[in-house]
Amino acid sequence: MPLPTPRKPSNRNIHPIFFRRYVLLLLVLPLSMALEAQHLSAEIKDQVDRLIYAAPKTYAEIDQVLRPVRQDTAALEQFMALAKKRNYLAGLCYALNQKGRFYRGISEYSKAISLFQEAKELAEIAGNTEFIIYSLNMMSVVFRRTEAIKSALDYSQEALELAESIENPSVGIKRSKNVSLNSIGNIYQILEQYDLAIEKYRQAMLLERELDNKLGLAINHQNIGECLEAQGQLKEALENYNQSLAYNEAIDSDKGKIICYVGIAHVYVHMGRTEEALLLLRSSLKKAKPLADQKIIVAILINMGWTYIHLQEYQKAEQQLTKALYQAEQYNFASEVAEANKFLAELWIKQDDYEKAMGFFKEHKNYEEQIKKNLNMRYVNDMIQRYETEKRTNQIQRLAQENESVRQKLRKNRTMLLISGIGLLLLAGILYILYRQYQLSNEKKLLTLEQTMLRSQMNPHFLFNSLNSIKLYIINNEQKNAVHYLNKFSKLVRKILEASSQREIPLAEELETVELYMNIENIRFSNEINFKTIIHDDLDVHNIKIPSLILQPFLENALWHGLSSKEGAKNILLEVHRGESGFINISITDNGVGRDAAERIKEGKVLKRKSVGIDITKERLANFSKDYLNSFQVDIIDLYDPTNSPKGTKIVLHIPIE
């Protein structure tokens, strides 16, 4: 039985650096000593001061000066401090993106995504389209590495659409367009749509040749090689790997060369040149360790284990695969964990230890299921429908064969069997119709709830009041505030519309949505609301899934019933922490007037604001509970001070995660 093929570290994780072929006239002194200094020397600081004074707005102009120190986070921090004093937003965007790339390179993805997001928001405030596109592409890379495929595709497509909408684009924006095309190709490749992926890579290569960007050409040749190898075209794949290696050697990219070596070694194993492959992998591992890119290191270890299995050196194969599994689990690389378990299962089958093999195989299947949940849902649904269709076809064929056998054995009872068969079919049809009616009723109820929730979160009062608040900034000639809040408002509307089409979303996206909502609502409270979010217990909010749009109704209730009538400080605290086994708890605490006082105030008003969002949310959560081992729960707690006077309200949502 042929062994399955391991993944290789991919050039999908490397992205072109934007560069122009001219130098700012104001910047005349070299910065070659910056890498050794680990901080900004007096001479370099003088050059940075000149950069900030000139305030160029393109990536290439800033990179011309800061390129030598962009991997030095301490130097970037110093630059950012100086840029903040002068409100140099383009420089801040550059520095935040470079810090994000640094953390992405060492697999600290949460830090990286926060930095890229901050850079994007600053670019939006500055109206700098080039840095908006750049930050979107960087976020797409992180989401793709963490296998959040839908988010990765959304950000890449948004970046591509923005780049294509610009007439007479600059060189930097053209390269951003290439990055977007490459990223979309990467996602198609992950989904095993190899022909579509190759088409995107070749589109990018045409533009890279026009720009004479050797790094971009290296990346796309490597990716095309991976697709061709997956399709069994080994000779063509090897040609592309060697072409990529030539480009990487020309630009002296250590990471690019390592990825090429591993790709070549991979093809060598398929060709039976196993010893040559092993030499390349050993050399690549030594060169990869100083780069500290754990994803590449883990992939090399898995490939070495796979190669040792081919050489029947099972002890060495076990050592490499076990080491790869440990590191993949440490950094939460789900695909690599699944792959290492798969090859360990193959290894123990080779040694006739089926009990151990079964243990690793079960782990492989568990992680494989987890990964499938993060893939593009439309693609997954298509596969499920295809599987169900084939399953029904097989069942029909099997039933036909059984019926034929019964007819041959019981010819004398043909009439009775025919009547019985018709009766069973009618019963099955009736049961199926009843079942479908039950399903349709539930789906209609859920759809009605979702539509009602969307209307409650985008009601005309909120939309008109928000736009009137932004209009006031425009009337008062506060252009920056107007642009800032208009961007946030448009992003909030977009996020609500996107989330309304999804059954579940990552907690991180829900928190981002409510943060935007609070920013908009706070305008109407003259920025008196102190809203704070705290994540406890080192929770990774990107990997926790919750029903979409469930937090905003509780925040709206706290604002309009708890705080709108309160004098003095107005605080709302949102906390996320681990609850009992199988639960995540989300609490929303306000220091408002309390429920009793709020009800009395409401009764005294001529126009009463009816709050239906919480009731709808509770009903939605009750529907979601059907798909979980545990039920969603909502607790509303009245808070009192030592004198038994109301001091606010606390709402706790118990969210099951299994």
Give the residue from 140, 122, 109 showing the smallest Cα distance to 15: 140
Residue spans of the chain under pLDDT 50: 1-3, 12-38, 376-388, 391, 606-610
pLDDT of residue 26: 32
Residue 383 forms part of a structural domain: yes
Residue 237 lies in a domain: no
Q: What is the pLDDT of residues 318-367, one digit of tens each?
A: 898 898 889 888 888 888 888 889 888 888 888 888 888 898 888 888 87
C-alpha distances out from residue 546 to 208, 509, 583, 586, 655, Å: 41, 10, 11, 11, 7
Regarding whether 397 and 473 lie in a shared domain, the answer is: no
Residues 6+ apart with CB under 8 A from 157: 180, 184
Nearest to 592 by CA among 579, 601, 580, 583: 601
Domain count, the chain: 2
Q: Quote the pLDDT of residue 30.
A: 35
Q: Is residue 582 part of a domain?
A: yes
Task: Give the structural domain span for 549.
Answer: 450-656
What does the pLDDT read at residue 381? Answer: 44
Spatial separation of the C-alpha atoms in residues 533 and 41, rounded to whole Å? 38
The Cα 280–Cα 499 span in angstroms is 47
pLDDT at 23: 30
178: nearest Cα among 17, 67, 20, 64: 17
Same domain assignment for residues 519 and 391 = no
Q: Check whether residue 389 and residue 535 sit in a common domain.
A: no
For position 373, what pLDDT does the model report?
64
Cα atoms in the Cβ-side hemisphere of radius 13 Å centred on 197 = 24
From residue 609, alpha-carbon distances to 462, 561, 599, 621 in Å are 12, 9, 11, 23
On whether both 493 and 642 belong to a single domain, the answer is yes
Q: What's residue 81's pLDDT?
A: 87
Task: Look at residue 658 in the predicted model and tell me its pLDDT.
Answer: 62
Q: Tell me, what's the pLDDT at 462?
A: 66
**Residue 145 counted as domain residue:** no
Task: State the pLDDT at residue 148.
Answer: 77
Give the domain-ending residue among 364, 388, 403: 403
Residue 386 sits in the same domain as residue 523: no
Number of H helices, E strands in the chain: 26, 7
Q: Give me the helices (H) in 291-376, please.
A: 294-310, 314-330, 334-350, 354-374
User: Judging by DSSP bridges, how do beta strands 529-535 and 504-506 pair with one another?
Assistant: unpaired
Q: What is the pLDDT of residue 576?
A: 92
The pLDDT assigned to 532 comes to 92
Query: 502 in helix, strand or coil?
Result: coil
Q: What is the DSSP letter of 39?
A: S
Same domain, 507 and 386: no
In a domain, 104, yes or no: no
Q: At what angle do helices 254-271 and 234-251 cross, to 10 degrees?
A: 160
| Residue 616 domain flag | yes
Could you tell me if 390 and 502 lie in one domain? no
**Has residue 21 been placed in a domain?**
no
**Domain of 649: which CATH number?**
3.30.565.10
Burial class, 658, CB count within 10 angstroms (exposed 0-12 / middle 13-18 / buried 19+): exposed
- CA atoms of 656 and 556, how far apart (whole Å): 23
**Which tokens hold the place of 51?**
């950069």
- pLDDT at residue 607 in the model: 44
Beta bridge partners of 585: 577, 654
For the chain, the distance separating the N- and C-terminal CA atoms, rounded to the nearest angstrom, is 36
The verdict on residue 84 lying in a domain is no
Instruction: Looking at the structure, tell me whether residues 542 and 395 fall in a common domain.
Output: no
Residues 652, 507, single domain; the answer is yes
R_g of the chain computed on alpha carbons: 29
645 and 512 in a common domain = yes
On whether both 393 and 455 belong to a single domain, the answer is no
| SS3 readout for 573-621 | EEEEEECCCCEEEEEEEECCCCHHHHHHHHHHCCCCCCCCHHHHHHHHH
pLDDT for res 242: 92
Same domain for 389 and 481? no
